[in-house]
Structure 1
Amino acid sequence: MSHLTTANTRPTPKTWQGLLRLTLGSALFWALAASVLFIAAPGVDSWGRLLVFSECVGMGIVGTAMLLRTSRWFPNIGSTLGWALTGIIAIPAGYVAGHVLALVMLGEPFRVMSPGQDRLLPIVFTLLIAGFGLHYFASRERLANEAAARSEAQRLATEFELRLLRAQLEPHMLFNTLANLRSLVSEDSRQAEFMIDQLITYLRSALAASRTELSSLRDEFAQLRAYLDIMSVRMGPRLSYRLDLPSGLEQMALPPMLLQPLVENAIKHGLEPKVGAGCIEVRARRVDLGLEAGVVAGVEISVTDTGLGLSAEGAARALAQGPNASYGLQHVRERLLAAYGPRASLTLMPQTPTGLCASVRIPQ
């Protein structure tokens, strides 16, 4: 389990698109600053010359600030102090570097400040504008840190609920299994040995799942197989099952015990109340999620049973928020949201002639 932290999430571009947006945004910002200075103090210089100096100095300050924030040598301190130190270094360094570049572009001799008091105005104006820009980045970083902290807190709360749920469900399942074992020991010792082996596998997997953030589909299916083997001994010919996991998906990572509530629901609400035999099929396959941002590769894991099933209205109520919601389904949906955001989904689909299919779709 990772610990909740509020370390700086330094808002620097991580892709070429992000770098392009930052460059264009900064260029527009400093062009606007040059225009404001020209209108506020028309006697200072021509607009074209102010634009060249503003762009060169501004991009020098922005570039220096971003290099400092991404450097591994820069101290990883609090957001406010960190950006204050960034400004102390980046503003004078960027001003000198940008001033030199502008003079080179204009073909003029090097000078930091021309004679005359009016030349102090661009320096003061640059200091104010640069301070405003750095304040914007500092505010954005603070908001990003707060959002990351809220997301991490939600994830930790969801994982805590998982452990609480397992603490409530496992003793009930364990007691029923042990009671069944007691009768099997004298009636069918081979079945009793098989059930003990599967119980050990299931409990070992459950213990490992409670100590990790991610599991693999192979481990999840192995745990489901142990659980379904135990339930098959308990229910006899009333329960059969099939697990379908392609070899290419065995190592895919997902939150541990994500599928267990779906299988338990299928047995508890679908097959146990039904008269006669029933079947559960757990299947994983690759799909295209087709999200609004574009087609995203993903995996669909479906748990299909031939039990009593639900109507379309009943399935909607089971997934809904409120008193009619199924706690197990709601728990799965919250874990999906915490782990994958809106890219993941949980759906229920009534089957014909009877039964229900619970499908989880997650990005790969």
Structure 2
Amino acid sequence: MDAEASPGARADRRARHHHVGQTLSPSTKAPLRPVAATAGPDLAYRLTVAERDPYKRFSAAYWTRIVGANVAAALLVVVVYSGVSWRTPMPKMLEAFGVAMLFSCIIGPMLGIVMPRVGRGVACRFAFPFDWVVLIATMVAIALAGSFAAILVLAAIGYLHGAGIVTTWMKGSLKASIVVTLIFGIFITVVETMRRQLDDAKVALRTKERDEAEARRLAAEAQLASIESRVEPHFLFNTLNSIASLVHGDPAGAERMTGQLAALLRSALDSTATPLVPLDDELRVVRAYLDIERVRFGDRLRYTVEVNGGAGRLVVPRMALQTIVENSVKYAVSPRREGASIRVRAAASDGRLRVAVEDDGPGFGGAARPAGHGLDLLGARLRLLFGDRATLTVDSGPPRTVVEIDVPAESRS
């Protein structure tokens, strides 16, 4: 008997950037239950046909297991219930084995066909231990029906006669059929459940590997976009001109600005960086970027950074705040004569890290955030790195715009 459950559906991976949520991986820590993999159809292509559903196709290996179990069950009945020993004459021994094999060949396939389908429904409708109660009751019912069918076959071929048919079934065959069916049924169910949980682990591992690869790809795209926005000629031209203007009048300022530019470029071009970095490191890059832009915009760009609750050691996606701050510079500071104030706030509480970037600019509409926009890419990265444990919210419009990321409070191991 094999038991399984149909794959559950995963949440849509194309969730909007302001509401990031998905199930990342199936759990394998629940009590032992006759359930199957819970990964969604978008992951099924990663598994072979046998890994996805070895029961539906009833392969040769599947039926080999059924036949092997039937033979083992028949031998068990012959040894335990038929009184056969090494002293039993061979004809009598073969007769007993043949009768037991008939019962086994009727009950075994019934288990193999019925139980996988029952297992799907049980896994969906009942929790442990009620799922096992239903499964055992189903096994008993199969034993009743199968053993009675075997008795009828024996009567049809003339092995049993008259009123002795029902008596033989009630007094001997029924008990043996139920006991042996439960022994083999429960054993195979446990084995198949453990095997299916192993398949769940394979799905989770492959999902994690794929998501990590996708996260690296998106991080590379965000990194490239960041490089393009910062290393474009006019940015370097303006920055180098600003440094040159400070060389004679403020050498220390020129040196400081050169260091800030170097730190910014080093972060953008670092190909060995991990997807998650401590918030302090990310804020260091953000400050360097804002200080460079403040030389360009002067008093039009004002900013503050507030970090509370030991949030600095917790990790955030690399370039995440940089993306949000660049958005504020582009839509709040650059287009207005009076510029804007940017406020970066970070706090950790209740196992969560919340980082918000607020500006007093006019905001931006949906048309300003097409597919592939920095915030859109950031939302996708959060989904891949944290699943449904992270959110990205955008509140845009006069008199202020707030972009906040909310992620689990985790430190770098």
TM-score norm. by structure 2 comes to 0.56
Q: Give the superposition deviation at 1:213.
A: 2.4
Conserved 8 A contact 2:279-2:315: yes
Does residue 1:336 correspond to 2:351, yes or no?
no
AA aligned opposite 2:374: G
CA displacement, residues 297-316 of structure 1 (integer Å, 9 cap, x when unaligned): 42221111122323xxx1x4
Code of the residue aligned with 2:174 in structure 1: it is: S
> 1:361 corresponds to which residue?
406
Q: Using a 3 Å threshold, how does the CA distance of structure 1 residues 223 and 55 change in structure 2: closer, same or farther?
A: farther
> 1:235 maps to which residue?
297
- State which structure, 1 or 2, has the greater radius of gyration over its C-alpha atoms: 2
1:37 pairs, out of 127, 143, 158, with 143
Q: Find 2:326's aligned residue among 256, 259, 264.
A: 264
Kept in 1: contact 2:359–2:400 (CA 8 A): yes
1:55-102 deviation line (CA, Å, top 9, x unaligned): 554454555x4xxxxxxxxxxxxxxxxxxxxxxxxxxxxxxxxxxxxx
Quick one: structure 1 residues 52 and 219, their matched pair in 2 at CA, closer, same or farther if it must change by over 3 Å? farther
Q: Which residue of 2 aligns with 1:166?
A: 226
Once the two structures are aligned, what percentage of the paired residues are identical? 31
2:353, 2:318 → 1: CA distance?
16
Kindly state the Cα deviation for residue 265 of structure 1 after the two structures are TM-superposed. Answer: 0.9
Q: Are the counterparts in 2 of residues 284 and 301 from structure 1 also a CA contact under 8 Å?
A: yes
Contact 1:26 1:59 in 2 (8 A): no
Name the amino acid aligned to 1:338: L
Partner of 1:70: none
Tell me the equivalent position of 1:300.
Answer: 354
Q: CA deviation at 1:141?
A: 5.6
Equivalent pair of 1:163/1:210 in contact (CA under 8 Å): no
Q: Does 1:180 pair with 2:226?
A: no
Distance 1:45 1:149 in 2: 53
TM alignment of 1:92-111, pairs within 5 A: none
- Does the 8 Å contact 2:28/2:197 carry over to 1? no
Q: CA deviation at 1:45?
A: 4.0
Change (3 A) 1:249 1:54: farther
* Residues 177 and 26 (structure 1), Cα distance of their counterparts in 2 relative to 1, 3 Å cut: farther
- Asked if the contact 2:314–2:353 (Cα under 8 Å) also holds between the matched residues in 1, the reply is no
Equivalent in 159, 166, 174 of residue 46 of structure 1: 174
Q: Which amino acid aligns with 1:252?
A: L
Decide whether the 8 Å contact of 2:343 with 2:358 is kept in 1: yes
User: Normalized against structure 1, the TM-score is what?
Assistant: 0.62
Higher relative contact order (CA 8 A, sep 6+): 2
**What is the distance in 2 between the residues matched to 1:248 and 1:53?**
62
Residue-pair matches, total: 267
Counterpart of 1:201 (choices 256, 263, 267) is 263
C-alpha offsets along residues 284-333 of structure 1, whole Å, 9 cap, x if unaligned?
A: 12467xxxxxxxx42221111122323xxx1x4445xxxx4461111111
Deviations 1:229-280 (A, max 9, x none): 2222222111111101115212112221111111001001210111114211
- In structure 2, relative to structure 1, the CA distance for the partners of 1:301 and 1:51 (3 Å cut) is farther
One-letter amino acid matched to 2:404: S
Matched to 1:170, the amino acid is R
Residue aligned with 2:345, SS: strand
1:202–1:227 contact (8 Å) kept in structure 2: yes
30-39 or 230-239: which moved more?
Answer: 30-39
Q: Amino acid of the residue matched to residue 263 of structure 1? A: V
1:13 is aligned to 2:28: yes
What one-letter code is carried by the residue in structure 2 that aligns with 1:306?
Answer: D
Describe the shift of the 1:210–1:333 C-alpha distance in structure 2 as closer, same or farther (beyond 3 A).
farther
TM-aligned CA distance change 1:277 to 1:269, over 3 Å: closer
Alpha-carbon contact 2:340-2:359 (below 8 Å) kept: yes
Q: CA deviation at 1:152?
A: 3.5
Letter in 2 for 1:164: L
Separation in structure 2 between the aligned mates of residue 284 and residue 50 of structure 1, nearest angstrom = 67
Residues 143 and 181 in structure 2, CA contact (< 8 A), matched pair in contact too: no
CA contact (8 A) 2:227 2:268 kept: no
- CA distance, structure 1, for counterparts of residue 248 and residue 268 of structure 2: 28
Local SS of the residue matching 2:239: helix
Structure 2 Cα separation of the partners of residues 175 and 53 of structure 1: 84
SS in 2 for 1:259: helix
- Give the equivalent residue in structure 2 for 1:283: 345
* Partner-residue secondary structure (3-state), 1:19: coil
SS at 2:342 equivalent: strand
Q: 1:340–1:362: 8 Å Cα contact kept in structure 2?
A: yes
Residue 251 of structure 2 is aligned to residue 189 of structure 1: yes
The one-letter code matched in structure 1 to 2:378 is: V
Q: Give the corresponding residue for 1:78.
A: none
